[in-house]
A and B are shown apart, each in its own frame.
Chain A
Amino acid sequence: MRRNNLAAVAAVSLTALALLTGCAPGGSDAPAATGGKLTDDQVAALGDVKLTVSAYSVGGQKEAMDRAAEAFEKKHTNVDVEVSYKAFNDYGRTIDLTMQSNDAPDVAQANAVMARRLVPGKLVLPLDSYWDAYGWDDRFPGAVKGTLSLSDDGKFFGEGSQWGAAPGGNIVGVFYNKSILGDLGLEFPSNFDSFVASLEKAKAAGVQPIVLGNLEQWPSNHILSPILGYTAGASEVQSWINGGDSSFTDSGFVEGLGVFQEWMDKGYITPDANGIKNDDANAAYIAGDGLYQVTGSWNTTPFADGMGDNVGFMVMPAPKGVDPATTGAFETPLTISSKSKNADLAALFIDFVTGPDMTASNMQGGFLPFSPVDPAEGDSALAKDVLQVWNEMNSTDGLVSYLDSATPSMGDAMFPALQSLLGGQMTSEQVATTIQDNWDKYYGSK
C-alpha cells in the first residue's frame, strides 16, 4: 500500500516534471541549400521569408548591424531580417545552447573562441562553397583569412573549412599624446630602441610613459603581444597561436616576457596597474596623465572625443631591419547555422553585411574595413591615423592574432599569470611555463 502511494506520488511528480521541462523530442530537417550564389530574382522567388540573426554587437557596431539589416530588407523587400542582441558575456556562454536548439537563428555572430566549440559541434555550416561563389577570398588579408578557417576538430586555425566572414576588424597599437611628446622634446620614435628611449625620457621627466589599468586582467596582454612580435617574431607568434611548432618557452617568447616585466620594474608601466580599472586608466590617459597607451582601435572614438587632435596612433615601432607587426583581428564574424532552412539566403546576407555596400556604414560603426579605404575618410585625426596603420598592416600581412585565441582557455591561464609577472610574483620563465602548459594540454605536448 505504502509503496503504491509513493509510486502514485512519483508518477504525478514525473508528469509534472515532464510538463515543466517541456522536453519533447524533436528532429531538425536538413536544410535544402545549394551552396551557391543567389541572384536577386532567386531571392524574390522565395516569397515572404524571415531571416533570423543573433548578435552581440553593442554601440556603433550594433547600429551598423541594424543599418545593414534595414538596407538588406530594402533591397530584398520580401525578406524580413530579424536581429536579436545579447550582451557579449551572456552571448558567449549561451551560444552553444542557442545553436543546438531547434529554433536556432539562421545567422549568428561568433568569435574565434566560440568557433572552436561550434565547428566541432557541427553547429555551423562550412562556408567554402559560398566563399568561392561570392569571391570572399579577395575580401580578407592573409592573416585574417587564415583565422577564419578552422579544422573540423576545432583545434587548428588556418586549416579545414571557412567558418565565418567578418564585416571588419580591429588593431592594437600605441596611442601617443602629441603635446607630451613635444614637451619632452622627443622625435616620433622610429624604431624599437628609440621607443624604449622615449619611455626612459618620459619617466625621467616625471611623466607616466605607458598608462595601464589591468584590474580586469586582460588589458596587459595587449602590451605584451606587440613586444613578442619583435622578440619572438611575428610568424613564430602566429604559428604558436595556430597550434604550430613554436613554444612559449622558446627564448624569444621568454625574452619578450622579460622586456614586459622590465618595463614594469622600471616604472614605464603604471605602478599598481593590477589594481586600476581599465576605464579609470583610459580616463586618466584622456586627461593627459601619460605619454602612451598600448591598446586597441576600439578606443579610437573615446580618445578622439576626449583628446581631439592631440592624440595619434602608431604600430609599436619595430627594431631596425625588422618589419613592423602588431596584433589585430576580425571582429564579430558571421556564421550560418547548420540548422538554417535558408542557408543560401543567409550567405547572401553575410555577403551584403561584409561587402562594399556596407563598408562606409561599418566604418561609421567603428569597424576597420577590410577593403582598403582612403585614410582621409576617417572622421577624426586619430581615426585617419588608425586607418593608415590598418591599411599598411593589411597590405604587408603584419597582423598577428590575439594571444588568447591560442586555446579556448588561454585567457584564463595567461591573464592571471601576466598579472603575477607585473606584480613580480612570477618570473618570465614561470609565466612562459604556465602559458605553455595550457597550450600543451590543448594541442598535446610536442
Chain B
Amino acid sequence: MSASAIRPARKVGGSVAGPRYVPFLYLAPGLALVLAFVIYPLARTVQVSFTDWNGVIPPDFIGVENYVEILTDPELRALFVHAAVLIFFYALIPIALGLLITAVLARTRVRGMTAYRALLFVPQALSMVVVAIAWQWVFASTGILNQVLTLFGNEVTTAWLGSFEWALPAVGLTGTWRQIGLCMVLFLAGVQKIDPALYEAAKLDGANAWNEFRHITLPGLRAEIAVALTLTVTAALKSFDLVYLMTRGGPGTSTSVPGYEIFARAFNRGEIGSAASLGVTLTLLIVVFAFAIERFRKES
C-alpha cells in the first residue's frame, strides 16, 4: 500500500487502487455467499434432476427421464395451465386495476392520499398465513362472500374453495387482492416523475382522460409496468404459499401448481429427483419470462 502511495505508476494489470485482483477480493465474501447458497444448490438441483432419488438411499442416474415425464404427462401440464390462470389473476388484473387507480389519481388532487396509499399497500405487508386464513373465511359456505351474495336474493351456501370450477379463481382473487397494492405503489411513484407540463399541454390541446392516459401516463410508466410484471408474473409462476395454505391443491388437483407439486414430491412423497427436474423447469420458465419482460421494457 505504501509503495503505491509513493509510486502511483501503473504496473501491468494493476491500477491506482492496487493490483487487479484487489477488487475481486472485495467481492469474494459476497461471491462466496452466492456460491454457497445460490450457485451450489442450483447446480446440485440440476444434478439431482437427472436421478431417481428418495433422499436416503443412493440416487439412480436415469438421464432425462424426469424431463420427458414433464413434457408428456398431461397432469403435469395441467399444473402449468393453472399457473397461467394465476398469471391472469396475480399479474394482469392487479396491473390493470393499478393503472386505473393511478390514472384517476393522477388527474385529480385527492385529500388524504397518503392514507389511501398506505391502506392499499396493507395486503402486501400482511403475512401470507394471515391472508390465506382470512380468505378461507371469506370463501367459506357461511362466509362473507356468500352473506353478501345472499343480500341479492337467493341464499348462497357454496363453499367456493371446494368447487372444482371456482377454487382456482378464488385463490387467484386472493392473489389479486395481495398484488394490487404493490402495483399501485409502483405506478403512483412512477407517475410523479412525469412532467406535469405534459398533462397541461395535453389539456390545452383538448385531450380527454383516455388520451392523457394512452399518450402520457402509459408510456411514462413503461419501466414501472415492466417491474410490476416481472414481480407479479414471477410470483404467479412460483406460487406455492396460497395454494398450500388455502386448498392443498384441491379439490382434486384443480388448484395445484408447479410450486406445490415440487413441494409435495420432494417432501411428501420422497421423489426428490422428479421434484428437482420440475424445479429446474420452473426456474427456466421464470427466467424466460423475466427476459421477455425485460425486452419489452427496452423496446420503447
Contacts and interface: CB of A to CB of B under 8 A. Distances in A.
Interface string B4-33: 000000001100000011001101110111
Given A16-B36, A96-B55, A9 B27 contact: yes
A216 interface: yes
Interface of A is mostly: helix
B50 interface: no
A419 B251 contact: yes
B56 A13 contact: no
A123 B55 CA distance: 12
A419 B250 contact: yes
Contacts of A275: 139-141, 158-163, 167, 251
Interface stretch (A61-69, A161-169, A364-372, A406-414): A406-414
B251 A408 contact: no
A37 interface: no
B252 interface: yes
B55 A117 contact: yes
A280 interface: yes
Contact of A120 (B35, B56, B161): B56
Contacts of B271: 409
B29 A16 contact: yes
B66 interface: no
Residue among B24, B29, B56, B161 with the most chain A CB within 10 A?
A: B56
A5 B20 contact: yes
Interface in A311-330: none
Contact of B28 (A13, A120, A419): A13
Contact of B25 (A12, A121, A422): A12
B247 interface: yes
Contacts of B164: 420, 423, 425
Interface string B131-161: 0000010011100000000000000011111
Contacts of A409: 268-271
Contacts, number: 137
A217 B268 CA distance: 14
B82 interface: no
B291 interface: no
A217 B250 contact: yes
B150 to A, nearest CB: 15
A215 to B, nearest CB: 6
A74 B28 CA distance: 54
B142 to A, nearest CB: 9
B13 A2 contact: yes
B35 A272 contact: no
Contacts of B247: 215
Nearest to A273: B162
Interface in A1-19: 1-2, 4-6, 8-9, 12-14, 16-17
B178 interface: no
Nearest to B247: A215
B159 to A, nearest CB: 2
B57 interface: yes
Residue among A13, A216, A417 with the most chain B CB within 10 A?
A: A13
A275 B138 CA distance: 12
Nearest to B159: A275
A217 B248 contact: yes
B28 A412 contact: no
A425 B269 CA distance: 24
B131 to A, nearest CB: 16
A148 interface: no
Contacts of B163: 272, 274-275, 423
B253 interface: yes
Given A9-B25, A215-B162, A412-B269, A121 B57 contact: yes
Given A5-B20, A120-B56, A276 B267 contact: no
Contacts of A416: 249-253, 256
Interface in A97-154: 97, 100, 117-118, 120-121, 123
B24 A408 contact: no
B296 interface: no
A120 B167 CA distance: 39
Interface string B221-263: 0000000000000000000000000011111110010000000
Contacts of A178: none
B38 to A, nearest CB: 12
Contacts of B55: 96-97, 117
Contacts of A8: 21, 24-25
A97 B141 CA distance: 41
A71 interface: no
A416 B75 CA distance: 13
Contact of B252 (A13, A20, A420): A420
Contacts of B267: 92-93
Contacts of B61: none
A21 interface: yes
Given A96-B55, A277-B136, A215 B35 contact: no
Contact of A417 (B160, B162, B252, B268): B252
A5 B12 CA distance: 13
B45 interface: no
A100 B56 contact: yes
A261 interface: no
A186 interface: no
A20 B162 CA distance: 46
Nearest to A1: B13
B281 interface: no
A426 interface: yes
Contacts of A426: 252
A314 to B, nearest CB: 28
Interface in B257-296: 264, 267-271
A8 B24 CA distance: 9
A335 interface: no
14 contacts: A5-B13, A9-B27, A17-B32, A17-B40, A117-B54, A274-B161, A274-B163, A275-B161, A276-B140, A277-B136, A416-B252, A417-B252, A419-B250, A422-B251
Interface of A: 1-2, 4-6, 8-9, 12-14, 16-17, 20-21, 92-93, 96-97, 100, 117-118, 120-121, 123, 214-217, 272-277, 280, 408-409, 411-412, 415-417, 419-420, 422-423, 425-426
Closest 8 CB pairs of A and B: A275-B162, A275-B159, A274-B162, A16-B32, A121-B56, A409-B269, A272-B159, A420-B252
